[in-house]
Structure 1
C-alpha cells in the first residue's frame, strides 16, 4: 500500500480508492459486504459519484468553514463510502456531515461521560464524518490545524477509553485503517499482499535459531500479517518464552480462531504445543467452540487428563530432559536448570514450524522450573544448526 502523507489530491484519491476497493472486494467475506450493491461489485468501486462543486460549497456554507483539503478532495471523488475499514462501514455524505453537537447530541453526551477536559472541548467542536460502524466514530478537529490546512483526525470508540491515536489528517486516518484492514485480513488467512511471506518465515526461523528472538518475532509477525499461518504460529511460540503469562490470549486469538494456521502447521503440533500452553493458563470452558476439531468431546469432558503428544527431540536434549526431571524429583532445581541450559545449544528440529524447545513450557514437571528470566534465556541462546 502506497500512502501519501498530509494532503491528497482528487486524482491521488481516485487511484488510492480504486486500489483499496479492489483489495476489499477480493478478500472480504460476503457477510462483510452486506451494503455493497451489485453495481459497486461489478465496477469494483465501494464509493459513489463525487460531490459537485456546488454540493461542497453548500456544505462549507452550512458548516461555516472551509473543509480540510484531504477530506474535501475525498468527497469530490466519492460522496460517501462503504467499508472504509474493518470496523467502519459507511462514511457520511455532503448531505449529512455535520458537527457532532448537532448531528448526534445523544452520542456527544455519551462520549463526554468520563472525558478529560481536552476531550470535552473536542466533542464540542468536532466534525462527525462517519456513519454506521462497530461502535466507533470518526471525528475531525477544526481546533488542531496543520500549516497546510489539514485537521487532526481521531477515532472515538466504545471499546477503548478516551480518544484513539491522533492522525495528522483525514487521509492519514484512512491510511492507518487500511493498514489495519490488511493486517486483520492477513491474520484471517485472506491476505491482501501475500508476496514475501515465505521469505519472512525463513528469515525469522534463522534469526530465532541464532538467538535474536526480538527480530525473529518481528519477521514472523510481518509474515502473519501477509497471511502466513506458519508465521502466526511461530510468533506465538516465540512469545510463549518472551511473554509466558499472556501467551494463552495469543493462542486463542491467533491460532485457535484461525483454521488456516492449524492447517498449515498441522494438528499434531498444535495439540502438542499450543493446547497444553493454553490449558496451563486458562480454562477451556468459555472457549469450547475453538477446540472443536482439535480436541475430541471426550478429551474436553476430561480435560484435566489430556495428555499431549510428544514431539521428537534430539537424543542429547531428550537425555537432558530426563536428567532434569530426575534432579527436580531429588529437590535440586538449580542443578536441573544447569543441565537443561547446557543442552540448549544442541537443540534442533527438522520441522520448519519449530524454533524452540516448547517442551520446557508444556512438560508438567519442567515448566515450573522455567522462570520468565530463564524463558528469555532459552530463546536468546543460539540453538541448532544456526549456532555459530
Structure 2
C-alpha cells in the first residue's frame, strides 16, 4: 500500500478541486454550496481535529483505518466523489449501515445452499459496513471492518443497483478516492457543447505519457506501453483505449476491444474495421445492432466499408492487403498458409515487419490480417507477443527471439489425443511430385475436381451437406482438406471418416499415383471406442499398388513386398497398446517417405477442400443397400 501523509492528501485534493472547478461552464446553474466550492476551488471541508476524530471513533467503537483517518485530518468530508456520490461522510455523518438499505436480505435471497464463505461475507457487508455515502445517485459506499490488510486498512466497497454488477472492491480509502478521481476525469474527458475544454496538469501529464507509450509500443516495448495506456484509459483520455485495444487484440483478447474513435477514422478504418467486424460476425447471429453502435459518428463511406467487410468476413472472402514490401510479404505468407505451412507463413510476416508502414501516427501494428480466413489462424498469444515485441513503423529496438513453431513435424502427432478426445479415426492420402491443387484430378470425379475456397473442416462439412440431396449406405466419398506434406509431397486428409469396412474398402493409392510418382494411403482406427480396431497402409507407384497391409482386431492381411521398416509384425505385438502402436506406425511411415502433416493448419486453420470419389467398391449382385433422397 502507498502511505498517504496529510501533505499527500492535501496536494491531491487541491488538484482535484481545481480541476473540478475549471471543468464547470460559467453559465451553468449550481447549488449554493457548489458555487461556493467553485469559487473557493475546494471540494472539501475544514480539517477534522484530533478531538473530533477521537469522538467519532468512540461513537463507532472502532479506530478508523489509517488512510481515512489522514483524509479527515485534511478535510472532514468531501463533495462530488466521482460522478455519482455527491457528498461523502466526515466525522459526523459516518455510521454503521446495519442493513439500513435492506440489501443484506436481498443479497442473501440469491445465495444457494452451496454458497461459499466469500459469498456469505459479501451479503453480510450490508450489516457490518461503515456507510460513507451521505448523498448519492443510489450509490452505496461502505468501509468493511472485516476486510483488513496488514497495515490496518479497511477495504471500501461501492455498489449501485443501476450498474447491474456485484459490489466493487477498493483496497482502501485512499485507493477508493484515487478511483473516484479517475471516474471524475473519465466523465469530463469529452466535454459537451458549451463546456470548457478539459485540460489541466493531470491531462497534460497523461497525454505526454500516452505519446511516449505510442513510441515505446512501436519500439517493441508493448508491456510498458500498455500499462501507461491503461492508466490513461482509466482517466478517459481520448485515444488511450483505441491504442491499447490494438495491443490487446494481438494478444488474442477480443472482449471489449472496439478501437473506439480510430475504427471510424477513414485513415485507420481499413486496418481496424476487419478485426472489429470479425468479432461481430462470430457472435452476432445476423443482429448487427452492436456494430451500428460502434460505428456511431462514422461517415457514410466508413459505414459502407464496415458492412461490406462484414459480408466478406461472413462468407469467407475477406482478403487482407497492405502497401509496399510488407504487403508483398503478406501475399507470400497467404500462399504458404493456404497449403498448410503456417509456421513458414508466420516467419514470412515477422521477417518483413520492419518494412511495415503505419496508416497514421496512432497505428501501432498491422491488424486487418487477423480477420483474413487464411492468415487469421496464424495468430496465437505467443505469436502476438512476438509481433508486438518486434520494432516497426520506423522505430529502432531489439528484436525478440522467434517463437517456437506450432507444427511438430512428421505424423506422430495424430496419435495424441486432441482437445475433447474426438479424433479416434482419420485417413489421408500422400502423393509425391504433384501440387495440392492437382489432387482432385487424381482422387475425384466430375465437380469434385475443383478445390473449394479455404475453410475449416466444420465449415466444409456444413457446406457439403447443405446442397446434398442423396445419401447412400454404400457411398463413402471423403471430404478432405489438402496441402503440402513436406518436400515434394502433397496431402489430402479427413479427420472423422465413417466406419472402416474391410470387405468393401478400395484403396485410392493406385488411382492417386501417376507415372513416375508414388502415393501413400493411411487409414487408422486403433483408438476407436466402438467397433473394430484397425489400421490400413497401401503404397502405389506408376498407377499400380506395390504393397499394402490391413490390421483388424488381431488379424493382419498383407500383399506385395513390404519394406522392413513397415513390416506389420514389428508393430502389432501388444494389441492393448493402441496409442503406442499407432505412434510407432506413423513414425515409420514418416521416416520411410520423409513426409509430415501440418497439425496447426489441419486442427485450427482453413485449407482448401474437395470431395473424393467413393472409397468403397460398388455393390455386387444381391447386396442390399439403402439410398435416402431429400427434397
Q: Which has the higher contact order (CA 8 A, sep 6+)?
A: 1
Counterpart in the other structure of 2:582:
none
Counterpart in the other structure of 2:391:
382
Counterpart in the other structure of 1:218:
227
Counterpart in the other structure of 1:164:
169
Alignment of 1:152-231 (within 5 A): 152-158=154-160, 159-161=164-166, 164-167=169-172, 170-179=173-182, 181-182=184-185, 190=198, 192=200, 193-197=202-206, 199-222=208-231, 224=233, 229-231=238-240
8 Å CA contact 2:264, 2:298 repeated in 1: no
Report the Cα offset of residue 162 of structure 1. 5.3
Pick aligned residue for 1:126 from 125, 129, 140: 129
TM (norm. structure 2) is 0.48
Compared CA separation, residues 151 and 201, structure 1 to 2 (3 A): closer
Compared CA separation, residues 74 and 163, structure 1 to 2 (3 A): same
Compared CA separation, residues 121 and 5, structure 1 to 2 (3 A): same
Alignment of 1:127-142 (within 5 A): 127-133=130-136, 136-142=139-145
Q: What is the CA–CA distance in structure 2 between the aligned matches of 1:346 and 1:12, rounded to whole Å?
A: 48
Compared CA separation, residues 312 and 136, structure 1 to 2 (3 A): same
Q: What is the CA–CA distance in structure 1 between the aligned matches of 2:79 and 2:48, rounded to whole Å?
A: 15
Deviates more, 1:33-42 or 1:78-87: 33-42
Counterpart in the other structure of 1:274:
272
Report the Cα offset of residue 157 of structure 1. 2.0
Counterpart in the other structure of 1:20:
16
TM (norm. structure 1) is 0.73
Counterpart in the other structure of 1:250:
257
Counterpart in the other structure of 2:289:
285
Compared CA separation, residues 108 and 29, structure 1 to 2 (3 A): farther
Pick aligned residue for 1:318 from 323, 327, 334: 327
Q: Deviations over 1:250-279 (max 9, x none)?
A: 31xxx43xxxx44xx982134223322211
Compared CA separation, residues 280 and 191, structure 1 to 2 (3 A): farther
Counterpart in the other structure of 1:234:
243
8 Å CA contact 2:295, 2:303 repeated in 1: no
Look at both structures and tell me which one has the larger radius of gyration over its CA atoms. 2
Compared CA separation, residues 132 and 371, structure 1 to 2 (3 A): same
Counterpart in the other structure of 2:376:
367
Q: What is the CA–CA distance in structure 2 between the aligned matches of 1:76 and 1:89, rounded to whole Å?
A: 20
Q: What is the CA–CA distance in structure 2 between the aligned matches of 1:323 and 1:349, rounded to whole Å?
A: 20
8 Å CA contact 1:112, 1:119 repeated in 2: no
Would you say 1:89 and 2:86 are equivalent positions? yes
Q: Which has the higher strand share?
A: 2
Q: What is the CA–CA distance in structure 2 between the aligned matches of 1:313 and 1:33, rounded to whole Å?
A: 53
Structure 1 runs not aligned, ≥5 long: none
Q: Deviations over 1:347-373 (max 9, x none)?
A: 233732223122322445433443444
Compared CA separation, residues 152 and 231, structure 1 to 2 (3 A): closer
Deviates more, 1:122-131 or 1:215-224: 215-224
Q: Deviations over 1:288-326 (max 9, x none)?
A: 244133153994699255699x99945221212223334
Q: Which has the higher helix share?
A: 1
Compared CA separation, residues 66 and 240, structure 1 to 2 (3 A): closer
